[in-house]
Amino acid sequence: MTTADTLLPGLPDPVIDSQRVFRVVLDAMARPGTLVDLPLSLKVPAPLDPATAAVALALADVDTRLWLDGAVGADAVRAYLRFHCGCPLTEGPAAADFAIVVDPQAMPPLAAFNAGSDEFPDSSTTVIVQVPTLDGGEPWTFTGPGIRDRVRLAVAGLPPAFRGWVAENHAGFPRGVDLIFTSGTRLAALPRSARLEG
């Protein structure tokens, strides 16, 4: 049996569904910390969650370099993403336009990813972090653009140092990485403009 025989399908309607997922991601970025449901059903290779795969399929293409952490770098996942996105895979997080992390406890610090530059802050890495749940962890409070007063986000499964990484990431604004947290069929975004309180 070949890889092509066992390859899972991507988005049911690649054009329409990628636009739908893209709008969901934009909405999540515009309203940091807000939990958003994926607008479609998707069967994906382990260990990816549907939301993780959908975001990758909607955002990655032949011109975007993708980095996968060790836990997600299985042959089935690599074949799935290469086939459906056409994206080149990179070995180093600093060279990535997008990164997928499915083992947050073992992930490199956010500073290991490309933070962009003052001239081109949009050239930074967008890091997709897959977690067990988006509402069962330690609640953190954020302020900033797109947030009315304050928002609380309680992502579970992050390493102890992650809180410090987020604060350092914001301190470098406009440089810094943008974060998309995924779990099951839900996601939440934390752009670099969000400021962690306390």
pLDDT per position in the chain (198 positions), as tens? 344 447 898 998 999 999 999 999 999 999 999 999 998 989 999 999 999 999 999 999 999 999 999 988 778 999 999 999 999 999 999 999 999 999 999 999 999 999 999 999 999 999 999 999 999 999 999 999 999 999 999 999 999 999 999 999 999 999 999 999 999 999 999 999 999 997
Kindly write down the DSSP assignment for every residue of 36-99, as one continuous string.
EE-SS-----TT--HHHHHHHHHH--TTS-EEE-TTT--HHHHHHHHHHH-PPB-S-GGG-SEE
Q: What is the pLDDT of residue 2?
A: 41
Q: What is the pLDDT of residue 7?
A: 85
The domain spans of the chain are 3-196
Q: What is the pLDDT of residue 137?
A: 95
- Alpha carbons 185 and 189: distance in angstroms, whole number: 14
Give SS3 for 198. Answer: coil
User: Among the CATH numbers 3.30.465.10, 3.90.700.10, 3.40.50.880, 3.40.50.11310, which is that of 3-196?
Assistant: 3.40.50.11310
CA distances from 12 to 16, 52, 53, 58, 168 (A): 9, 16, 13, 12, 39
